[in-house]
Structure 1
Amino acid sequence: MITVEHLAKAVGETKLPVLQDIGFQLEEGEFVAVLGGSGSGKSTLLRCLALREKWDRGNFRVDGKDILKSGFSGKRKIRREWAYLEQNAELNPNRTALKNVLIGQSAQTPLWRMVTGMVRSDDYMGAMDELEALGLLDKAKLKASQLSGGERQRVAIARALVHGAKVILADEPVTGLDPKSAERVMENLRKLCKESGLTVIAVLPIELAERYASRLWVLKDGRIKHNVNGRRLTSQERLSL
């Protein structure tokens, strides 16, 4: 499904290398946890995969399509089919949870819907179904500003799914959440990977990564130092964190 080869990215005027020769292959339905110390390149990796950062070098293929060499169509595929969730969910605080799910992000939503806020009945039912699946049906009519951090993250996940996301890139989606809310978000993501074939790549704390992810990447010095199936890391592997 996803193949990355030789991804490299440097930043700043001094062109400090952040990512160096990153490579991997992922299949549909995998839940990948990205681990690493401060400055290891975790967030930069997600932003590059979301095409929010320009690659200095590398190959990027999705379902056989060469994303970096296909111009506008390649970028459009990623923006429409991949959802990038930042640490603080990007929701309109003055819209309800339901409206945030329905309206979506600019790359996913027709201009007329963003301007008018109008939706079709089928879209409405689809959004309500996703909110119910994520335990948020009773919060649908509340404004985003009235929701907790964990609830906002789940609204962002529901929005991504309603708009057809096949891949979710989540940068520390549970930071700042209470343990119960964090586990609810993780359980939702793992269930979606297993049952719906969603692929998730998320920066996570090690305790949750070892419990929920099907694959662990440990980044060090801009490279994937360890790429292992979901399990507890060994003492030697933990030295890279």
Structure 2
Amino acid sequence: MAEQGDPKDTEVWEPQPKVVTPGNGTAPPSDAVVLFDGQDLFMWESAEGGPAQWKVEDGSFTVIKGAGNIKTKEKFGDIQLHIEWRAPEKIEGKGQGRGNSGILFQERYELQILDSYQNKTYANGHAGSIYKQAIPLVNAMKKPGEWNLFDVFYMAPRFSEEGKLEKPATMTVLLNGVLVQNHTEIKGTTEYIVPPNVHPHGKAAIALQDHENPVSFRNIWVRRLA
């Protein structure tokens, strides 16, 4: 028996979706903020606010041991982030001492970067973990010296006017096109020894960690979702 009614009753015409032109492959789409295009660190600064001191060469930049963390000059909330990174081809160290860095969302919540290829370490410290909080679903790492790709969908936490947490931050992460975090709730700030902390904040920078390993980065762009 045919359904009764008018199909127009379920059609929504306004507002029409904003037009965004996709990039070719992993190139940024038309509405992205390009954080590194292979040329310089103009969009970045040191953790203290001075010039970023990491080394730019051959279309990428690399951690300089002891130079400290760097962070974006712009502040962000909800975002889609694309970032490519590479651990050194020459294997030095083991566990957390091998190809270690991290992406700190809003300068607080760390998505782990590590050379996890055939490198045993604690499960919530692997590449693609929300460090010390959430184990990645799988290990999708490429060999040392090859470029890895993170595509991240990050939703910032929401706080009441009184500073009470109303909705925790969440993160969905693809590592080399493979799902490793699926809308994972973030428990609080990334800590090394003590449990995560929760405290109110607004938009903040994206930071990259100097863990004294020469990890390299390229093709970094972000889309503001809110």
Tell me the TM-score normalized by structure 2: 0.29
Q: Give the TM-score, by structure 1 length.
A: 0.28
The structure with more strand, counted as a fraction of residues: 2
Q: Flag the structure with higher helix content.
A: 1
Bigger radius of gyration = 2
